[in-house]
Amino acid sequence: MGGLLVARSVTLDAKQEGTRRVLADAMARGDVAKARAEEARQERLEFEIDDFFGRDASEAVKDAAGLRASRRAVVRGA
pTM for the structure as a whole:
0.56
Q: What is the pLDDT of residues 11-55, one digit of tens each?
A: 878 888 889 999 999 999 999 999 999 999 988 988 888 888 888
pLDDT at 74: 52
| Coil, strand or helix at 12 | helix
- The average pLDDT across 51-69 equals 76
Task: Return the domain boundaries, the chain.
Answer: 11-76
Query: Would you say residue 75 has pLDDT above 60?
Result: no
Question: Can you give the C-alpha Rg of the chain in angstroms?
Answer: 26
More confident residue, 69 or 61: 61
